[in-house]
């Protein structure tokens, strides 16, 4: 009887400490943009994203939807382009902008829980000629 209980306990511990279980535990919460703002708010101040292309020479996307993760330190990682209008246009300006942003946890997020969310950005700089 005790040996059976011991085996069950060992199996439970192995499963609980497996890499898959540990990875799932540290995964960011998947939240809508509105839900994300209840966990993190953009830090005040200015930031200067790098733009590697000239909008006068390269067709910039008018609108870009990005997925991103906010880490426990309030930084963005794993930035991915989900959609761009027009398709195939330059999206680097939007990726640079979200990578340059910093966030502060809200009172609700004192534990600094990482999240994954999306944002849609619109280019309102000079139009390509």
Residue 8 within a domain: no
Residue 129 within a domain: no
pLDDT (mean) for 3-26: 44
Using the predicted structure, report yes or no on whether residue 18 has a pLDDT greater than 90: no
For residue 96, the enclosing domain spans: 28-122
Q: What is the pLDDT of residues 94-103, one digit of tens each?
A: 999 899 999 9
Say which residues have a Cβ less than 8 Å from residue 4's Cβ, sequence separation at least 6.
Answer: none
Residue 79 within a domain: yes
Residue 51 within a domain: yes
pLDDT at 24: 46
Quote the number of domains for the chain.
Answer: 1
Q: What is the pLDDT of residues 84-128, one digit of tens each?
A: 999 888 898 899 989 999 999 999 999 999 999 999 988 876 654
Residue 15 within a domain: no
Task: Read off the pLDDT band of 13 (50, 70, 90).
Answer: very low
CATH code at position 73: 3.30.2420.10
pLDDT at 25: 57
| Whether residue 86 has a cis bond before it, omega within 30° of 0 | yes
Residue 67 within a domain: yes
Highest mean pLDDT among 11-15, 37-41, 95-99, 119-123: 37-41
Say which residues have a Cβ less than 8 Å from residue 27's Cβ, sequence separation at least 6.
Answer: none
Residue 10 within a domain: no
Q: What is the pLDDT of residues 57-67, one digit of tens each?
A: 778 888 999 99
Residue 107 within a domain: yes
pLDDT (mean) for 9-16: 42
Give the torsion sign (CA, 49, 52, 61, 74): negative
Rounded to the nearest integer, the mean pLDDT of the chain is: 80
pTM metric for this prediction: 0.72
């Amino acid at each position: 009887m005790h040996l059976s209980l011991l085996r069950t306990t060992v199996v439970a511990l192995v499963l609980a400490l497996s890499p898959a279980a540990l990875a799932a535990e540290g995964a960011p919460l998947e939240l809508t943009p509105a839900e994300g703002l209840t966990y993190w708010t953009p830090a005040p101040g200015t930031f200067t994203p790098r733009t590697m292309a000239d909008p006068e020479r390269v067709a910039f996307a008018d609108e870009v939807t990005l997925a991103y993760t906010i880490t426990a330190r309030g930084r963005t990682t794993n930035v991915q382009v989900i959609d761009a209008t027009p398709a195939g246009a330059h999206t680097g300006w939007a990726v640079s902008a979200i990578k340059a942003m910093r966030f502060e946890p809200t009172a609700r997020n004192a534990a600094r829980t990482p999240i994954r969310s999306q944002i849609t950005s619109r280019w309102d700089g000079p139009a390509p000629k």
